[in-house]
Structure 1
Amino acid sequence: MFGCSTRFSGIVCGGVISGLGFGINSSLGLFLKPISDDQGFGREVLSMAIALAVLLNGFTSIFWGALNDRYGVLLTCGSGATLVFASLFLASFASSSAAFMVTIPFQGAAGGAISFGVTLGAVARLFGDHELAQRSRALGLTTSLGSLGVVVVPPVAQALLHAYHWRPALRLVGLGTLVMLPMALVLARAGRARSNDDDVKGVEIDKGEEEEEEEEEEGNEPDLHRTLLAAQAHPPYILLVLGFFVCGFHVVFVSTHLPSYCEDEGLPSWVGATALSVIGIGNVIGTATSGALGAKFPGDKNKLLSALYFSRACLFALFCSIPLSEATVLGFAFVLGLLWLSTVPLTSGLLSDMFSPKYGSTLFGIAFCSHQLGSFFGAWLGGKTYDSTGSYDLMWWLMVIAGVLASVLHWPIRNERVKFLYTMGEINDNKL
């Protein structure tokens, strides 16, 4: 399907890197109650630390994306994995609210280097513009593999919390980031091998002619500055960025507060951790399906996104209206998993359709910044609302409203390629 084993190995490693990073972020909510109870402060303290982490994760994703576009995935992911390990290790020694406010947010800032913005940008560049269907499937597969991180990491973290105090458990979770180092090397090698892959269309391609065509193409492509100017003036891109805010608002509220919510409602502690894993299982199916649908209906990615957000809103409304039990929580988790990161391959695919994949990591980094801004409010408002009202009810209904708004925002988006016109050093964008 993807042309060569080297390319496929790059896709797999990109998924593993994203999965470990996303799984570790999703596991931080499991430490919310143990750390808060042990340290004797309210849930808002660690909720704010996690919220700052996701916020910094978004802002720094622009930097990490640009670094990836300029210097490659090996330097970017290697640096990020090392820094995430260091931050979690230091957090395990924290003994005050101020210490958590430094170490946990630092983990978020470093985590942008191992996020989907970097890995999906690297995977997208493994395919040319004549391989849109293959690219969409590859982005869906990468995201789907990344979803396994939510299946694997939270139960491991929960088991570590049962076996050890939260401090050694946090250190052991941090060690998992070092697995990303060899994965980044394989993904980088796949990118370098892309120009030597002669089996893109199933026919032999003359390397000399291909290089001449690529050089000519690159000479006509805009630089990063002009691409960013065009992006900020392109309404569909603005709508996509705004809509991605809601995705972060949804997923980080749930991943941070669902375990505590389940315990507050009298359910066993295993339910919350299991629910996060069930979300991951559903996400594996959902993201792969999303990528396949994006390949089958390339002109309707916006409508697919609109349907996904509206479905989330309906699901949250239903969850607020039915009695809570182990079965309803796990059923909710599986259906939510189908919709969880299904937005990512479609969003990334729209960006590749609108602009060249050359600066895909930077453009996705900007969108991801909006996503993480939403994540900040999802994590922080969840803790703030609980401490103020003693309940998460208001937050669940905010989830419903946000889903409806996101559905409306995505409906008018069009995915035509932006054409850059150079006039006296300025740039305008017209659709082909």
Structure 2
Amino acid sequence: MDALRRWALPLLCGGVLMGLALGVRHVQGLFLLPIAFDRGWGRESVALALAAQNLIWGLAQPFAGMVADRWGSRRVLFGGALLYALGLATMAGAQSLWQLYLGAGLLIGVGLAGTAFGVVYGALSRQVSASARATVLGLTGAVGGLGQFLAVPLTQGLLQSLGWAQALLCLAALFLLVLPLAWPLNDRQDNTQPADAAGAAGGSMGAAIRAALAERSFWLLNLGFLACGFQLAFIATHLPAYLLEQGLPAGVAARALALIALSNIAGTYACGWLGGRYAKKRLLSAIYLLRTAAMALFLLAPPSGLSVQLFCAAMGLLWLGTLPLTNGLVGQLFGLRYVSTLFGFTFVGHQLGAFLGVWLGGRLFDATHSYQLMWWLAMALGIVAALLHWPIDERPSPAARLGLAT
């Protein structure tokens, strides 16, 4: 308890920043159809901007991690929030597709790299002692999940009262208000924790990256993480449109996203807690199999408000639980000195999957007028991911931890 009280402020600040960043991303599916109809753009065109956001986020994450590892996380968080606000404002004023791609794709994508879990979890991992790390990361994820939940009714209310463009500007203003929350996440002075003396003993960032890339387990983690990005991005972006296609009222979509975010609070904390007690790779395999089962049952059941609620509650419990587990596994394998950088490289696979999930959802719907094939792809990737995580070797590699592997 003493450890938790000591780290309460950075935990809360990191959770709020992460919750706002992920919450605004979580509700962008609510803007898909209003923007497309108002501007006269096709669904695929708007989906491509959101898909590009996911890909740019993934490509920018290793660089955000490098800056955080070398110069401190709070600078990255501050700059990321500024870029996120600018991206939302640009998106609100977009009169052409290239402006939409600039705001929703490039600026928000880079902003997410600086404000989401890669940097927040890395900062807290270095600030918190090894004994409290799993619990603190789980609690931070739970606070972030609460932020995601609150973003849904907030955004829905703004959309109904102000319209989509003004709603985006209000969300941009929120990012400016939370800029001071980056200050307590000062991990620069703590990036050589005694608990991680091996990882801090020597070795350059380049040597640590080469060591990780030489590890089979690192690649298995990357490939499995692709399925996570595909599933979550597809559901978050296209579930509102899918429910409308099934003849359900528009309000069901907002409640569905809110329920996912609400269940995610308990799910993320539980996964963080379990990750400190059981093999992380086994937990990750279980998450992907349970997600696949939830999607299969959802498709087999007749579309109704009840089936949507049950599906979203189940998916929410499994939503972001992969993140503290994956981040913790990277730190366990390679140490904490360059954990933000190495997690950033792992996250590239996640966001490649996210890009495919968002873009293919729009592409295949325009081609087939159905999301059925996308659901099957998401389930197939879940099974593949479960199989990929199973043979990961969780034992720390001394050469990789020291950054001396060749």
Contact 2:33 2:241 in 1 (8 A): yes
CA contact (8 A) 1:2 1:134 kept: no
Of 336, 340, 346, 2:325 maps to: 346
1:81/1:181 contact within 8 Å kept:
yes
Whole-Å separation in 2 of the counterparts to 1:101 and 1:406: 30
State yes or no: 1:287 paired with 2:268.
Answer: yes
- The answer to whether the aligner puts 1:187 opposite 2:185 as a matched pair is yes
C-alpha separation between the residues in 1 aligned to 2:217 and 2:335? 15
Q: Counterpart of 2:239?
A: 258
After TM superposition, what 4+ stretches of structure 1 lie above 6 angstroms from structure 2?
213-216
Q: 1:221 aligns with which of 197, 202, 205?
A: 202
**Contact 1:222–1:420 (8 Å) recurs in 2:** no
C-alpha deviations, 1:308-366, integer Å up to 9, x for none?
A: 10111111111111101111111110110001111111111111111111111001111
Match of 2:385 in 1: 406
Change (3 A) 1:167 1:426: closer
Deviations 1:135-167 (A, max 9, x none): 111111111211122201122111111111211
Gaps of 5+ in 1: 196-209
Q: Determine the C-alpha separation between the residues in 2 that align with 1:214 and 1:157.
A: 42
Asked if residue 125 in structure 1 is aligned to residue 126 in structure 2, the reply is yes
Mapped partners of 2:400, 2:183: distance in 1: 37
Counterpart in 2 of 1:203? none
Query: One-letter code of the match for 1:225?
Result: G
2:208 & 2:10 partners in 1: Cα distance?
26
Alpha-carbon displacement from aligned partner over 1:282-312 (angstroms, at most 9, x marks no partner):
1111111111111122xx1101110110111
Residue 260 of structure 1 aligns with an amino acid whose one-letter code is A
What is the Cα deviation at residue 420 of structure 1? Answer: 1.6
* 2:334–2:401 Cα contact (<8 Å) kept: no
Structure 2 match to 1:304: 283
1:391 aligns with 2:370: yes
Equivalence map 1:65-80=2 (5 Å): 65-80=65-80
| Correspondence 1:327 to 2:306 | yes
Is contact 1:23–1:153 with CA below 8 Å preserved after alignment?
yes
Counterpart check, 1:230 vs 2:230: no
1:5 CA displacement: 3.2
Q: Percent identity?
A: 38
Counterpart residue identity of residue 144, structure 1: A
Shift of 1:272: 0.8
Secondary structure of the residue aligned to 1:358 is: coil
TM-superposed CA distance for 1:170, in Å, is 1.0
Q: Taking structure 1 as reference, are residues 216 and 321 closer, same or farther at Cα in structure 2, changes over 3 Å only?
A: closer
Q: Which residue does 2:9 correspond to in 1?
A: 9
Aligned length: 405
Q: Distance in 1 between matches of 2:401 and 2:9?
A: 39
Q: CA deviation at 1:281?
A: 1.0
In structure 1, the residue matched to 2:356 is: 377
Distance 2:196 2:238 in 1: 50
Give the SS at the match of 1:291. helix
Distance 1:37 1:9, change over 3 A: same
User: Quick check: 2:52–2:105 contact (8 Å CA) kept in 1?
Assistant: yes
Q: Distance in 2 between matches of 1:262 and 1:291?
A: 31
RMSD: 2.2
Structure 2 counterpart of 1:201: none
Contact 1:286–1:340 (Cα < 8 Å) also in 2: yes
Matches of 1:421 and 1:392 in 2, distance apart?
43
Cα distance in 2 between the residues matched to 1:239 and 1:230: 15
CA distance in 2, matches of 1:369, 1:2: 36
Residue identity opposite 1:234 in structure 2: E
- d(CA) in 1 for partners of 2:369 and 2:157? 28
Residues 81-160 of structure 1 aligned to structure 2 (within 5 Å): 81-106=81-106, 107-128=108-129, 131=130, 133-160=131-158
* 1:280 CA drift (Å): 0.8
Aligned pair 1:60/2:60, yes or no? yes
- How has the CA–CA distance of structure 1 residues 426 and 69 changed in structure 2, closer, same or farther, with 3 Å as cutoff? closer
The answer to whether the Cα contact below 8 Å between 1:7 and 1:194 also exists between their aligned partners in 2 is no
Query: Unaligned regions of 5+ residues in structure 2, if any?
Result: none
Report which of the two structures shows the higher radius of gyration computed on alpha carbons: 1
Deviation at 1:44, TM superposition (A): 0.3
Contact 2:90 2:103 in 1 (8 A): yes
CA positional deviation for 1:179: 3.4
- Residue 207 of structure 1 corresponds to which residue in structure 2? none
